[in-house]
Amino acid sequence: MSQTKNTSNLLWGAVALGALGVLGTYAAAGPERFWANWILWFVLLFTLGLGSLFIVALEHLVSAKWSVPVRRIPERLATLLIPAVPIGLIALAAVPVLYPGARPEAAHHPLLAGKAFWLSLPFFSVRTVISLALCLLGLWVLVGGSLKQDTTKDPAFNFRARKFAPAFMAIFALVITLIAFDWLSGLTPEWYSDIFGVYVFAGAFLSGLAATALCVLHLQDEGRLEGVKGDHLYNLGGFLFAFTVFWSYIGFAQYMLMWYANLPDEVIWYKVRLAGSWRLITILLAGLHFVLPFFALVTRDSKKDPKRLRRVAYLMLGAHVLDIYWLIFPVLGAGPHFSWPELSFALFFLGGILLWIRGAMQKGEDMPVGDPFLREGLEFRL
């Protein structure tokens, strides 16, 4: 008990220390650096939460049984969408600072004039607010309903979730595409790639899976997920493996097609990321986001091995942060910025996210005990 309290104090300390650094960043390193960091963590929080919610919705959509015993984990992780709302609303203040499309000059830019309305702050804000609201709706139906089912044991929730899941998929596609185009590719509004939404989706789903696997392993250590076996871990590992490959496939397809066609309005985006020290970051990203996890999980046994799965899950979360960093930070110009402002933001947000997850992990039962398919899920064997 005292240990958890110590951890909690430590995390609060990190948040406090980080907060100092965050404020210092605005004062000392300038608003651009501040907002770039802020958006990084907003996108991370958002993709993590939405990716987890997607896992939940996917289970209802295909009526999967094996994942019922671990469904509560992504459900709890999806609640990260709640703190994402204020952070996202604050992030709107970054739009005139970092997003060239929202500045008044855009109206005279040959490539931006036509879509200046789309990129302008008011419409940008409307889209973000709608996206966040739709996410909260999904959270309310899928997670709220599931938590309620713990006590009511009413199978009506399963009917409702199955009806809602296809609709949520449409919402999900819309929201993730908007977030990708607005918050990430909007930093270089001349650049366009119609696969970009799918790319961000792959990263979001992957981060949700990695966080789920990690929390499952931690709860198992605490002896809280009795009945979850290697077979369940195998499936989580398998998904993690498959979507590592999927992410790479999408990322490579986008890069290869742009590299091959060599059109100036497209390659400029990669040119920046392949110049100077950014080249190293790009190679690092390919290594950490694809090569390493691919070979770590390629064999059948490694997907069941809790030790390896845990390492890979940590790696994937780190790689996801690096991915977002790689998407955002090149717009600041010059080489990769990594110094005390980034560290303080990491302290502040990581501490906060961990505190939130620790709290969320106490919500409801550890398994959806009201779900009629729980028994079948527990009996699942490969």
Judged by the rule CB under 8 A, the positions of this chain that interact with another protein are: 63, 69, 111-112, 114-115, 118, 153, 155, 158-159, 169-170, 173, 177, 181, 192-198, 224-227, 238, 242, 245, 249-250, 252-263, 265, 298-300, 365-367, 369-376, 378-382
- SS in 3 state form for 191-256? CCCCCHHHHHHHHHHHHHHHHHHHHHHHHHHCCCCCCCCHHHHHHHHHHHHHHHHHHHHHHHHHHH
Quote the least distance from Cβ 132 to another protein, whole Å: 21
Q: For residues 153 and 358, which CB has a smaller minimum distance to another protein in the complex?
A: 153
Contact predicate 59/71, CB 8 Å: yes
Q: For residues 12 and 192, which CB has a smaller minimum distance to another protein in the complex?
A: 192
Distance CA 82, CA 105 (A): 35
Quote the least distance from Cβ 364 to another protein, whole Å: 12
Q: For residues 47 and 67, which CB has a smaller minimum distance to another protein in the complex?
A: 67
Quote the least distance from Cβ 23 to another protein, whole Å: 37
Distance CA 372, CA 154 (A): 9
Distance CA 35, CA 307 (A): 37
Measuring CA to CA, how many Å separate 133 from each of 82, 148, 166, 178, 343?
10, 21, 18, 13, 31
Q: For residues 85 and 292, which CB has a smaller minimum distance to another protein in the complex?
A: 292
Quote the least distance from Cβ 235 to another protein, whole Å: 9
Q: For residues 155 and 359, which CB has a smaller minimum distance to another protein in the complex?
A: 155
Relative orientation angle of helices 306-328 and 230-261, to the nearest 10 degrees = 30
Specify the DSSP class assigned to residue 338: -
Distance CA 190, CA 134 (A): 28
Quote the least distance from Cβ 259 to another protein, whole Å: 5
Quote the least distance from Cβ 175 to another protein, whole Å: 13
Quote the least distance from Cβ 155 to another protein, whole Å: 4
Residue 282: name the closest of 254, 331, 322 by CA.
Answer: 322
Q: For residues 14 and 175, which CB has a smaller minimum distance to another protein in the complex?
A: 175
Task: Identify residue 205 by its one-letter amino acid code.
Answer: F
Q: For residues 29 and 309, which CB has a smaller minimum distance to another protein in the complex?
A: 309
Measuring CA to CA, how many Å separate 64 from each of 1, 162, 297, 366?
36, 11, 23, 18
